[in-house]
Structure 1
Amino acid sequence: MDRLLANGTVNAAESGEGPPLFLFHSLLSDRASFDAIAPELATSFRTIVPELPGFGRSGAVEGGLAAVADRMAEAVRDAANGAPAIVLGNGYGGFVALQMAIRHPEIAAKLVLADSGAAFSEPGREAFRNMVRVSREKGLEAITDVAMRRLFAPEFQEQHPELMKDRRAAFLRTDPDVFRAACDALASLDLRAQLATVKVPVLVLVGEHDEATPPPMSHELAAGLPHARLEIIPGCAHVPQLQSPRQFLVALNGFLF
């Protein structure tokens, strides 16, 4: 069931009953990246999967990642009726969730930050700047191969042609201006000095072969958070919940359940 949150600005799918659990998707994907795990999560939680601002039917916001985080905080409060919620973010969604928890300390009871971090290395920042430049000059089509490589290892792409066709189509539906604004925000982001303010329990997950947000970023993130533990998901890249849903759900055991 779809519903509108935050005064009609955020579109979200909702299923199941129980404590509210929000799933924030990555920049190079969409909310369908959680389709393989949402049904099982919905047996224990009221699972809410929003389209982040500027994606799908959710309205865009100006003002960088802070504005995106504030909009999503409004959506979380709306859907959770003001109670603290569990928020799981993958990739860009993880950065949004972390920024939201920093700016709105009361918003989350627990966080799961999958394939995310607090700041990119200089090569990582340059990758975002390059994607902005090429997409502006030649369109999103020109960086689709790069985007898919950041999501999935080449071997996985070869073994799952139908999934890759779907994921390419999802990426090409992204609003180019929203994509470039997010890339600009991530290229300059540094939340490391604020990690100590996040007092809630955090599970940091990362795919062993993630090229977009490599494992050292998750090591640094977990080390900077007061109440975090890190788990590496073997054989996976940037979207482990799509690549190996069962492994991803097993990694959540003991933290969510």
Structure 2
Amino acid sequence: MDRLLANGTVNAAQSGEGTPLFLFHSLLSDRASFDAIVPELEKSFQAIVPELPGFGRSRAVEGGLAAVADRMAEAVRDAAGGAPAILLGNGYGGFVVLQMAIRHPEIASKLVLADSGAAFSEPGREAFRNMAKVSREKGLEAITDVAMRRLFAPDFQAQHSELMRDRREAFLRTDPDVFRSACDALAGLDLRAELAAVKVPVLVLVGEHDEATPPPMSRELAAGLPHAELKIIPGCAHVPQLQSPRQFLGALKDFLI
């Protein structure tokens, strides 16, 4: 069931009953990236999967990552009735969740930050600047191969042609201006000095072969958080919930109880 949150600005799918568990998608994907794990999660939780601002039917917001985090915090309060919720973010969604937890400390009871971080290396920043530049000059089609490589290793792509066709189509539906704005925000982001403010338990997950947000970023993130546990998911890249749903759910299990 879809519902509109935050004064009609955020569209979200909702299913199941229990403690609210929000799932925030990555920049190079959409909320369908959680389709393989929601049926299991909704057995124990109220699973809420929003479309981030500017994606799907959620309205875009200006003001960088802080403004995105504030809009999503409003949506979380709306759906959870003001009670603390469990927030899970993958990739860009993880950066949004981390920024939310810093700016709105009461919003969450637990965080899961999957394939995310607090800051990119200079090569990582340059990759976002390049994607923004090329997409501005030639359109999203020109960076689709790069985007897919950041999501999945080449051997996985070769073995899952139907999934890759679906993921390419999803990426090409992204609003180009929203994409470029997010690239600019991530290229300049550095939340390392603010990690100590996050007091809730955090599970940091990362795919072993993630090229977009490599494991060293997750190690740095976990080390800077007061109450964090790090798990590396073998054989996976940037979207482990799509690549290996059972492994991803297994990594979550004990933390979510």
Aligned to 1:155: 155
Aligned to 1:205: 205
Aligned to 1:143: 143
Indicate yes or no: 2:88 matched with 1:88. yes
Deviations 1:79-132 (A, max 9, x none): 000000000000000000000000000000000000000000000000000000
SS in 1 for 2:222: helix
Q: Which amino acid aligns with 1:92?
A: Y
Alpha-carbon offset, residue 38 of structure 1: 0.5
Q: Which amino acid aligns with 1:56?
A: G
Aligned to 2:170: 170
C-alpha RMSD of the superposition: 0.2
Provide the C-alpha distance between the structure 1 equivalents of 2:248 and 2:64, rounded to a whole number of angstroms: 30
Aligned to 1:235: 235
Aligned to 1:113: 113
Alpha-carbon offset, residue 253 of structure 1: 1.4
Unaligned runs of 5+ in 1: none
SS in 2 for 1:144: helix
Provide the C-alpha distance between the structure 2 equivalents of 1:2 and 1:86, rounded to a whole number of angstroms: 19
Alpha-carbon offset, residue 201 of structure 1: 0.1
Provide the C-alpha distance between the structure 2 equivalents of 1:95 and 1:133, rounded to a whole number of angstroms: 22
SS in 2 for 1:174: coil
Aligned-pair identity in percent equals: 88
Unaligned runs of 5+ in 2: none
Q: Which amino acid aligns with 1:213?
A: T
Indicate yes or no: 2:20 matched with 1:20. yes
Indicate yes or no: 2:11 matched with 1:6. no
Aligned to 1:58: 58
Provide the C-alpha distance between the structure 2 equivalents of 1:188 and 1:122, rounded to a whole number of angstroms: 10
Aligned to 2:100: 100
Aligned to 2:255: 255
Provide the C-alpha distance between the structure 2 equivalents of 1:20 and 1:136, rounded to a whole number of angstroms: 38
Alpha-carbon offset, residue 223 of structure 1: 0.1
Q: How many residues align?
A: 257
Alpha-carbon offset, residue 72 of structure 1: 0.2
Q: When the two structures are superposed, what TM-score results if normalisation uses the length of structure 1?
A: 1.00
